[in-house]
Structure 1
Amino acid sequence: MAVPECVFSAVTCLQGPGVAPVLRCAPTPAGLSLQLQRPAVFERVLGALASYATPAKPASPGPRVVLHCPALRCNPSTLRLSQLRAVLVADHLTRTLRAHGVCVCSVPSVRDPHMATFLQKLRVDWPTTSKSTSAETLRTCVLAELNSASKEETLPPGVLGRLCLKELVEQRHAAGYDPSIDNCLVTEDLLSVLSELQEAVRHWPEGGSPGLDGDPDSGVDGCVVVHVVSCEEAFQQQKLDLLWQKLDDQAPPKQKHLVCGPVKVAGVPGTLLTAPEYYELRYTQVCKASALKHGGDLAQDPAWTENFDVLSVATIKFEMLSTAPQSRLLLADSAISTKGTKSGTFVMYNCARLATLFEGYKHGMQQGLYPAFPLVSSLDFSLLHDEVSVPPEKQPQAQGLDWSSRHPCLPQGEWLLLFNSVLPFPDLLSQTVSLASTPGLHITVRTEMVCKFLVQLSMDFSSYYNRVHILGVSTQQKGVWGTWGHRIKTGKQEDEPGSFSFRNLGHTSLVRCLPAYSF
């Protein structure tokens, strides 16, 4: 079947970030045969690194987001693992939304100094305050509702009254509220929570929402409230959502619930392990693993303390985020190891490789071992070719056949990393979250996509790193300063022993543009 001319033209004219220009396009019995100008993509990436390391900004400002995480009102000493998961998901969601150019207001502002200290230890950037918001207006609304109901009831201390939510649930049944919700005991603490949410929605921080001045969506209707809760808190949070709508005519119509599944630790019965205890467990394991690798009691060395903190937090975050938030999570109680390829430790090991590589190149350049990285515009990208699996000099010549016809070219590691990791990265970030367009009450966030991406990137890079000696040859060996510059300008491709050719520098240039995602 012939390919329609319109399809043929559309394919040959396709353009965009990361789209390789078509070198040749020809119809075949199976469809179309394409040959791409792959070096041109390499050139585009190196010429605009920032655009491949961040998600595309929206054409127009999206809705403002109030991100509410109730677990942050707890005492950290009693914080459950499922609540810790909600906190880390909320922090990840905040960072992701802001990377997309979305204006995010994080609620609640943490008042407990112990919680603030624990969040700092976890590298979670969350606002703090010493003030509390007034709930007087809401209290008046509650009392008016109670008087209209004119129902006398003996209530526990601290409870203002009981309000019926059944009618609201029935009106919004299609949205996904739990049909068993009947009424809500209104307490001073509950009103304080609602008051803080009201304040966040109505009085946006100055300068916190660029481009919204005069925008018709800059009011309550242009705001989405996202409640990030553990599965144990989900039912109560739905009550709070409905109570807000009952007491406040200006409550945001768009409220979403992101419910994080339960968390268990293998070998630990029930939910006995608290978040601080879990942190100490991972910290101890990191110290032991480092002691086995480097020797000595490094935990007592101040120079290593910061490293252990960072490694422990990164391990915890990777564990918590590598499974879809709504799914059940089972944490291993085993010691930390770099031998597997699916863990955060493996990813961090390869991040350390990259950091060492960059630092080695920078230090070597300062010492005169390597030339300064040239301008991208001065490089001849036509020198990038496919490599073969076995060097020709190691293969006996077969009569009547040249070596290339007997050994098809395989893609270089550079191409694998470029097309599988660098180019898809902005799209990956864009797919991890979708709020306003999601129908229903509940939303999901694909935190596991980033973790899987990092694992695959680490596997590909580890294989490439072990196969290609990136910075193994210095320009001082055999005095090849002039030879290096001559090759770039003339296009000669011979690789003499001990030379630092364009091909060697090309490896470094790709590694420099690998995307780094900060947890």
Structure 2
Amino acid sequence: MATRRLGVGETLGALNAALGPGGPVWIKETRTRHLRSRDFLAPHRALQARFDDGQVPEHLLHGLACVQGPGVAPVLRCAPTPAGLSLQLQRSAVFERVLSAVAAYATPASPASLGQRVLLHCPALRSSPCALRLSQLRTVLVADHLARALRAHGVCVRLVPAVRDPHMLTFLQQLRVDWPAASERASSHTLRSHALEELTSANDGRTLSPGILGRLCLKELVEEQGRTAGYDPNLDNCLVTEDLLSVLAELQEALWHWPEDSHPGLAGASDTGTGGCLVVHVVSCEEEFQQQKLDLLWQKLVDKAPLRQKHLICGPVKVAGAPGTLMTAPEYYEFRHAQVCKASALKHGGDLAQDPAWTEIFGVLSVATIKFEMLSTAPQSQLFLALADSSISTKGTKSGTFVMYNCARLATLFESYKCSMEQGLYPTFPPVSSLDFSLLHDEYPPLSGSAEPDSSAGLHSPGAPHCCTHRDDMQVPGTAQHGFQLLLQPGTHPGGASTTPLWSDVRPPAASESCA
């Protein structure tokens, strides 16, 4: 049997190949109620397009039940059902394979995107913190999260703009956002010359205000390149200013001059520049129109401007029950920080905020709460924030404060357990070969439904379901460990174990493509 770690992509590939030539028909089951009886499904409609009346030949069914290969999970059974062809894995064997090679699953696989480059642009960071709206704060947190996710998959990411405002740098550090800083602006002399050439015939000798160079027609560019899809139909003229050229100059500089140590896969690469680089603009819905103008202006003024530009548009942020969208990002942080302190006071009594030992903890919890709220909704969707005093409760299940406060409690429990292990207060974990994984029943559905990342390559749609870890270096397993306790106890084991998501104890969500 293959010893390579199991993968969803490898298993899907083997199942599709076992059905013969044609497009893919198998999907990974993700719904909990169906995971109790199947792990993969070939829908009936997909089978009808491949076979007469959707009937799969008997020899192919036999081949599916015996499918094997590197990274392919062992199959228990494959049978026709009203929904289509249903396949279930040998779940006890999957548990054993994973727990027998925990280190392999905890280590990220060699990323398929090694050497790819992404220029991540967040225009909101050109403002000062006091002018940063909640919708712009959302774009900053989305951009930071996206950068971390891409880097985890081996993508070389460069962040733009480099922040010059010292107050913005301080605020980003407060938010635990890692963003580059710069003291000087990129030179826009070349772009200015190109712009003046284009504007010569358009200005008709009129006197313009300081800092304004003139107007350029962008609609012609869109029509010439046939790329009207996706652009606002009202795009027409663009007011070219010195500030706009400065933004383009910084983007162009970042695109053409990647740091030599930015990624080992780029060492000595000869295609630095626009080739093979994707530019992603993360903007709020209020900034979308202006960003489209900037995109087209770049195409207009620079012959080798990147054609691969994507706009990640974040929806508006509203305050539920109040017209509070004018609250600035620093005010929002201070508001949530005060709520976290108040929640702790309600829970433990006393004013812990005055204790220096708790200062860092409250800061981390406040940031984690904000990130949870901002990132738990798909970026394109409108986000509603609850700022009422009732939202600070640590007993509800919907607020970021509740989730992060209890994550901190779990982290304390784990640290206590680790110290107890070091002191020898717990017995040594038995050999994996001595465990009976067939005793685990209810643990499997939440495991396979929530722990497997999308195995497809490239940037994914922000609306697609992806595993997100909002606190760095912290993996939180399920709170109930009853299933493990049954597994480790000698003698007869009753059925009906807990719903512990076992995989989170075995493998971090950031590891790529696994199969359960």
TM-score bucket (shorter structure): 0.7 to 0.9
Distance 2:139 2:251 in 1: 18
| Equivalent pair of 1:229/1:259 in contact (CA under 8 Å) | yes
Q: Deviations over 1:464-485 (max 9, x none)?
A: 34x56969xxxxxxxxxxxxxx
| Equivalent pair of 2:343/2:394 in contact (CA under 8 Å) | no
Q: What secondary structure does 2:141 align onto?
A: helix
2:43 aligned partner:
none
2:216 aligned partner:
163
Q: Deviations over 1:52-82 (max 9, x none)?
A: 4576544464641100000000010110001
| Equivalent pair of 1:173/1:179 in contact (CA under 8 Å) | no
RMSD over aligned Cα, in angstroms?
3.5
| Equivalent pair of 2:447/2:501 in contact (CA under 8 Å) | no
Distance 1:2 1:29, change over 3 A: farther
Residue 195 of structure 1 and its aligned partner are, at CA, apart by: 0.6
Say whether 1:138 aligns with 2:210: no
Kindly provide the amino acid, as one letter, of the partner of residue 73 in structure 1.
Answer: R
Aligned length: 446
Residue 349 of structure 1 and its aligned partner are, at CA, apart by: 4.5
Q: After superposing the two structures, state which structure 1 stretch, 96-105 or 337-346, moved more.
A: 337-346
Q: After superposing the two structures, state which structure 1 stretch, 259-268 or 49-58, moved more.
A: 49-58
| Equivalent pair of 2:75/2:87 in contact (CA under 8 Å) | yes
Q: Deviations over 1:319-361 (max 9, x none)?
A: 1111111111111113322333344344435533542343233
Question: Runs of 5+ in structure 2 lacking a partner?
Answer: 1-54, 512-516
2:182 aligned partner:
129
Structure of higher CA gyration radius: 1
Q: Deviations over 1:127-178 (max 9, x none)?
A: 1111221111111111222224461223222112222212112234433222
2:138 to 56, 72, 85: 85
2:394 to 308, 327, 338: 338
Q: TM-score, normalised by structure 2?
A: 0.77
- 1:396-475 superposed matches below 5 A: 411-413=441-443, 415-422=444-451, 424=452, 426-427=453-454, 430=455, 434-435=458-459, 444-446=461-463, 449-450=466-467, 461-462=478-479, 464-465=480-481
| Equivalent pair of 1:42/1:418 in contact (CA under 8 Å) | no
| Equivalent pair of 1:53/1:516 in contact (CA under 8 Å) | no
Distance 1:111 1:49, change over 3 A: farther
| Equivalent pair of 2:118/2:155 in contact (CA under 8 Å) | yes
Distance 2:502 2:425 in 1: 17
- 1:374-413 superposed matches below 5 A: 378-386=431-439, 411-413=441-443
Kindly provide the amino acid, as one letter, of the partner of residue 170 in structure 2.
Answer: T
Say whether 1:110 aligns with 2:163: yes
Q: Percent identity?
A: 62
Distance 1:20 1:517 in 2: 20
Question: Runs of 5+ in structure 1 lacking a partner?
Answer: 388-410, 439-443, 472-486, 497-502
Distance 1:324 1:33 in 2: 31
- 1:263-412 superposed matches below 5 A: 263-269=317-323, 271-334=325-388, 335-373=391-429, 378-386=431-439, 411-412=441-442
Distance 1:287 1:203 in 2: 45
2:34 aligned partner:
none
Kindly provide the amino acid, as one letter, of the partner of residue 419 in structure 1.
Answer: S
Distance 1:216 1:342, change over 3 A: farther
Distance 1:91 1:264 in 2: 21
Residue 420 of structure 1 and its aligned partner are, at CA, apart by: 3.3
Q: After superposing the two structures, state which structure 1 stretch, 335-344 or 135-144, moved more.
A: 335-344
Distance 1:468 1:493, change over 3 A: closer
1:8 to 50, 62, 73: 62
Residue 191 of structure 1 and its aligned partner are, at CA, apart by: 1.0
Say whether 1:515 aligns with 2:512: no
Residue 11 of structure 1 and its aligned partner are, at CA, apart by: 3.4
Kindly provide the amino acid, as one letter, of the partner of residue 234 in structure 1.
Answer: E
Q: What secondary structure does 1:184 align onto?
A: strand
Q: What secondary structure does 1:296 align onto?
A: coil
Kindly provide the amino acid, as one letter, of the partner of residue 64 in structure 1.
Answer: R
Distance 2:269 2:73 in 1: 38
Say whether 1:494 aligns with 2:511: no
Residue 183 of structure 1 and its aligned partner are, at CA, apart by: 1.4
Distance 2:276 2:227 in 1: 23
1:204 aligned partner:
258
Q: What secondary structure does 2:254 align onto?
A: helix
Q: What secondary structure does 2:208 align onto?
A: coil
Distance 2:105 2:169 in 1: 34
